[in-house]
Amino acid sequence: MKRTVFKGIGTALVTPMTEKGLDYAAMERLLEIQLSGGVDALIVCATTGEAPTLTDEEHIDMIKFVVEYVKGRIPIIAGTGSNYTDHAVDMSIMARDAGADGLLCVTPYYNKCTQEGLVASFTKIAGATELPVIVYNVPSRTGVTIKPDTYVKLSEHPNIVGIKEAGGDISAVVETMSKCGGKLDMYSGNDDQIVPIMSMGGIGCISVLSNILPKAAKEITDKFFAGDVAGAAAAQCRLKPLIDALFSEVNPIPVKAALEAMGVIDGYMRLPLTPMTAANREKLLELMRKEGLKV
């Protein structure tokens, strides 16, 4: 039986930073919000965590910091994907040694690859450690889409246990779930598709929203698991305008602006990311206030 890394809400953490480097004091504040909010897992140094702008040393140091701070209370999943498979392998081994409980590996980006290349790349990464691997499909960022038949092949590997699906194609989700026969856990990679993907057998979401509203995000999955599908759908619909605002500019620009307004982090991002525009920021803050956040 394959391992389920988590069920429910896993927060795709931002990486707090300043012009001088990583901001560990701010990460402590963010982690306390997550732990008190009851999230089910934490994802460190992935897309929302600006992994492409981190040095390998920074990447692993932040994983170590989060692992040591959380002390086993919930699973820590490390983003270790790369457009160079051997680099992803090295990062996965270092993340394992840093104490991570699982790996999140995105499809190769920029140089891209065929479906056969995806199978070969993920197979090599998954064989490098004993950790469970969640493969990450986000074609809007990478230019590569994992096809349903490719998921079937990947599902045969004992360490490939899950999918973070951010392709936005519900028909492809249905086909994947049909063909994989329960061999892969599926998580929504989009906050606005939690209920739709769970209705097809998904078991949660890797969430940006939960950085600022962990309890509200978790309410969606909790209600669904309790059989209150209508309540989960209502919560999903209520939060849709705020979710849209959190993606009105490239992630993590809006969520960092939100956390800065909450007094949690500095809000600094490394180029090529730039501060949120004033008009979009004001719309975001207005929606946050409606949810009871003090900004």
pLDDT digits (tens, 9 = 90+) for 51-87: 999 999 999 999 999 999 999 999 999 999 999 999 9
Fold annotation for 8-224: TIM Barrel (3.20.20)
pLDDT-based confidence at residue 181 (cuts at 50, 70, 90):
confident
Distance, C-alpha 18 to centroid of its chain? 22
pTM of the model: 0.96
Q: Where are the domains of the chain?
A: 8-224
Helix axes 214-225, 24-37, angle to 10 degrees: 30
Which residues are part of the catalytic machinery?
136, 164
pLDDT over threshold 90, residue 1: no
| Pairwise CA distance, residues 263 & 51, whole Å | 23
Using alpha carbons, select from 232, 209, 105 the residue that is nearest to residue 160: 105
* β-strands 41-44, 204-207 pairing: unpaired
pLDDT digits (tens, 9 = 90+) for 244-293: 999 999 999 999 999 999 999 999 999 999 999 999 999 999 999 999 99
Kindly provide the b/e burial profile for residues 176-196, where b requires at least 16 CB atoms within 10 angstroms of the residue's own CB.
Answer: bbeebeeebbbbbbbbbbbbb
57 CB burial (10 A radius; 0-12, 13-18, 19+): exposed
